[in-house]
Amino acid sequence: MTHQRLPSGILGALGCVIMLLVSSCQTQPSYTLVTQRYHKPRLGVKTFTSGDSQTFPYRKFISQDPQHAEPKTVVIALHGFCGASIDYENLGHWLVKEKPDVALYAYDIRGQGLDPVLERRGDIDSPENWFLDLNTFTSLIRREHPRATIVWQGESMGALILANTYRREVEQGRRPGCDAIVITSPVVGIREDFPRWKKESVSLIARVFPAARLSLDTLSGGQKVQMTATSTHSEQSETNAWHIERHTLRLLLSLSDMIDQMKASASTFRVPTLVVHGGKDYFSDDSDVVAFYQQLSQTPEKKRLYYPEAHHLLMYDAKKDLVIQDIGAWIAELPPPRKTARVQR
């Protein structure tokens, strides 16, 4: 695949500051989506087909005990940025062992490192595709477990996707597909110490060169980003097979726009909601998370779990056992879902 530099004339017009920002950007040619074998939404053994005929991997954690053949609660879990469905392995195994009435399904998000379309990794045409995937997967899981309480759980970027999906469904007059929500390590605002010019520069260039790619090291200025008590982002991600070196500016801009909508999304939640965050999370200030939590004004029940010494990757940090136990206990105690009719997709 051939990479091309951004035109020097354009960079000059944008000024020296923006030139520094995008000096590591490269453009990607438009990719062609691979035609999948299945053209309608379908839940396979290890993959599911979304509403636009694109297929993605998923993994499930469900008890094999005949006494718990049909789970009472099913968690649909969305991983974070530069993550994968395996990030929920710790929670999934704990639920199977300690709460066998709870099953967990986690899928690999479109545009991330285990996307079957290689050219699409690190890119997203539109966040609408993320909303489509979550709604489609939820409908498929509900058909598989029609009597179960459905919980949407999202970590970091996964929380952005589920929160914005929920708000979008409400705004369009539909009932969202979940009966409860768990949000861990939410990014609900841009850090105050993140230069505004960087955000504005990325936004400007993304609208001109949406497929240009940018490394996260460029955005962070080489600063070490602590993810757990013992690892940084580069140490955590570069050892993973699903690590992506560069993401497109349109993907980064989509995430920024979704962050800006998080508090508005919270005000639309009408199901029990759990918010979990750490005091040493690099990406979110405690005050922003508290402000987000306060926007949950329509939820019948809400709870906030706060771990002062925890970092962004809560389920892999020093307090991971306590975090997983607390999340699992809250999920297991959820009441049965409402019996109102749902819109079929």
- pLDDT tens-digit readout, 291-333: 999 999 999 999 999 999 999 999 999 899 999 999 999 999 9
Q: Report in angstroms the alpha-carbon separations of 56 from 23, 31, 112, 262, 292.
A: 33, 17, 11, 26, 31
The Cα 178–Cα 63 span in angstroms is: 21
Q: Report in angstroms the alpha-carbon separations of 34 from 39, 52, 56, 59, 121.
A: 12, 11, 12, 22, 13
The Cα 41–Cα 166 span in angstroms is: 20
| CA neighbours closer than 13 Å in the CB half-sphere of residue 184 | 27
**Maximum Cα–Cα distance across the chain:** 68
Which pLDDT band holds residue 227 (cuts at 50, 70, 90)? confident
Which pLDDT band holds residue 219 (cuts at 50, 70, 90)? low
Tokens of 223: 């600063």
Nearest to 48 by CA among 37, 56, 38, 36: 56
Q: Which residues contact 255 (CB under 8 A, 6 or more apart)?
A: 81, 157, 160
Which range among 45-59, 190-204, 315-329 shows the weakest confidence by mean pLDDT? 190-204
Nearest to 202 by CA among 186, 216, 188: 216
Mean pLDDT of 156-185: 97
For the chain, which domains are there? Answer: 46-189+223-332 (3.40.50.1820)
In whole angstroms, what separates CA 28 from the centre of its chain?
23
Check residue 21 and give its pLDDT. Answer: 37
344 or 183, higher pLDDT: 183
Check residue 38 and give its pLDDT. Answer: 76
Contact 21, 202 (CB under 8 A): yes
Tokens 């690590």 map to which residue? 243
Check residue 2 and give its pLDDT. Answer: 41
Percent with pLDDT over 90 in the chain: 65
Percent with pLDDT over 70 in the chain: 78
Q: Report in angstroms the alpha-carbon separations of 92 from 76, 240, 317.
A: 11, 20, 16
Q: E strands, 143-301, where?
A: 149-155, 180-184, 212-215, 226-228, 231-232, 246-248, 273-278
Which pLDDT band holds residue 194 (cuts at 50, 70, 90)? low
Check residue 65 and give its pLDDT. Answer: 93
Check residue 201 and give its pLDDT. Answer: 73
Mean pLDDT of 270-278: 97
pLDDT at 22 over 90: no
- What digits encode the pLDDT tens for the residues 99-151? 999 999 999 999 999 999 999 999 999 999 999 999 999 999 999 999 999 99
Check residue 207 and give its pLDDT. Answer: 81
The Cα 232–Cα 316 span in angstroms is: 12
